[in-house]
Amino acid sequence: MASAQRIAFGMLDQAPAEAIELRAGPLFARILPLGATLQSLCVPDRDGNVADIVLGFDDVQSYRDRPSWFGVTVGRYANRIAGGRFHLAGRDHVLETNDAPHHLHGGSDGFDQRLWDVADVGSDAGAAWVCLTLVSPDGDAGYPGTLHASATYRLTADALTIDYAATSDAPTIVNLTNHAFFDLGETGDALRHLLMIEADTFLPVDATSIPTGERRAVADTPFDFREPRRIGERVRDGRDDQIAIGRGYDHNFIVRGETGVLRPAATLADPGSGRTMTLSITAPGLQFYSGNFLAAAEPGKGGRLYRQGDGICLEPQIFPDTPNRPDFPSARLDPGETWRSTMRFAFATGQLCRNASYVPAANHNVA
């Protein structure tokens, strides 16, 4: 039987805070209204030992005081918008350039820093869920239109599904995603993980991390994850200009299949624990970020200092800088429409699958 409950969770800005805890089978998730944040996700290993596989903080105030994108909902627009400017419906719109010279993840006061309303908490025999909502007024951070957004977390015995939705009373742009950092082995080195991405092409970027417009084939590059590869094997290959620019992986992959249809996008596996996570998405792209800028500056959960590569992100989204790229999939949302994005993280142990089983062998050397 699944369960969902609201609990007291410390203090936020000198006021009592809460969290929502979801349980289903062996899985557990804790969601914070601040930033509609995935604060904890506990999953069993091959021996049945349950551990938290996402990076973050033990207290809610740290998500306010030390914004690091851990598990938060990113919006109004995930990723970068070049120069903090875009043109829509006959008007130019100017945004904060919080990642100079560009706008990143909705700005310094983006959706990750907002206190979302808890609209619904519930459970039945097979699932537990929470729905959070947020109203972003016209002109918020420079974005046009009053946006009504929702984030629904649904936990079953083998998967966590996140459904995002939004409507607007005027033409606007929207691109919400979750920014969880994963470490399936809880070892402090996610670069040991095996990764497979269902993509034949990716988007190269310029020196400021804005897509050049090229769609480059992954074949014969460090970006070829069409078969399982250890992330750390090529993450520091400075001979590749794109690895050098990003100081590792921080690129959008064009996922095979039809946008709007839930389809496999990536599989992540930790040979040490046996945990495997398969991500299915409806978005056209997947941003793979190898935690290049985790700098061990301040302690996270349990006092642990998160270093470069301690966690990796797989962020379903529309392409970066889409509002300035008419050849990219559109991020426009008009009145009367509903924007939606679904991502499903399914968990298993023991094998990494693609059509047939793939079992990490001893000669893969994940040390």
**What SS3 string covers the chain?**
CCEEEEEEEEEECCEEEEEEEEEECCEEEEEECECCEEEEEEEECCCCCEEECECCCCCHHHHHHCCCCCCCEECCECCEEHHHEEEECCEEEECCCCECCEEECCCCCCHHHCECEEEEEEECCCCEEEEEEEEECCCHHHCCCCEEEEEEEEECCCEEEEEEEEEECCCEECECEECCCECCCCCCCHHHCEEEECEEEECCECCCCCECCCCEECCCCCCCCCCCEEHHHCCCCCCCHHHHHHCCCEEEEEECCCCCCCEEEEEEECCCCCEEEEEEECCCEEEEECCCCCCCCCECHHHCECCCCCCEEEEEECCCCHHHCCCCCCCEECCCCCEEEEEEEEEEECCEEECEEECCCHHHCCC
pLDDT (0 to 100) of residue 351: 62
Query: Nearest 5°: CA angle at 126, between 120 and 127?
Result: 30
- φ and ψ at 263, to 5 degrees? -150, 155
Q: Are 243 and 231 in contact (CB under 8 A)?
A: no
pLDDT (0 to 100) of residue 181: 97
Domain covering 3-364 assigned CATH 3.30.70.20 in the classification? no
Whether 18 is a known active-site residue: answer no
Question: CA-to-CA distance for 66 and 109, rounded, in angstroms?
Answer: 13
- Binding-site residues for beta-D-galactose, please? 79-80, 250
Whether 193 is a known active-site residue: answer no
- φ and ψ at 11, to 5 degrees? -125, 145
Q: Give 82's contacts (C-beta < 8 A, 6+ positions apart).
A: 102, 210, 321, 324
- Its pTM stands at 0.94
Question: CA-to-CA distance for 179 and 67, rounded, in angstroms?
Answer: 12
Annotated catalytic residue: which of 93, 102, 103, 179?
A: 179
Q: Residue 140 has which token pair? A: 């918020």
Q: What is the pLDDT along the chain (367 residues), one digit of tens a residue?
A: 899 999 999 999 999 999 999 999 999 999 999 999 999 999 999 999 999 999 999 999 999 999 999 999 999 999 999 999 999 999 999 999 999 999 999 999 999 999 999 999 999 999 999 999 999 999 999 999 999 999 999 999 999 999 999 999 999 999 999 999 999 997 778 999 999 999 999 999 999 999 999 999 999 999 999 999 999 999 999 999 999 999 999 999 999 999 999 999 999 999 999 999 999 999 999 999 999 999 887 789 999 999 999 999 999 999 999 999 999 999 999 999 999 999 999 999 976 633 323 333 222 222 2
Length of the chain: 367
Q: Give 106's contacts (C-beta < 8 A, 6+ positions apart).
A: 74, 75, 76, 77, 78, 112, 141
Q: Given its phi and psi angles, is residue 132 left (phi above 0), alpha (psi -120 to 50 degrees) or beta? A: beta
Q: Are 167 and 356 in contact (CB under 8 A)?
A: no
- Binding-site residues, please? 79-80, 250
CA–centroid distance for 343 within its chain = 9
pLDDT (0 to 100) of residue 297: 79
Number of CB atoms found within 10 A of residue 224's CB: 16
Using alpha carbons, select from 114, 136, 4 the residue that is nearest to residue 64: 114
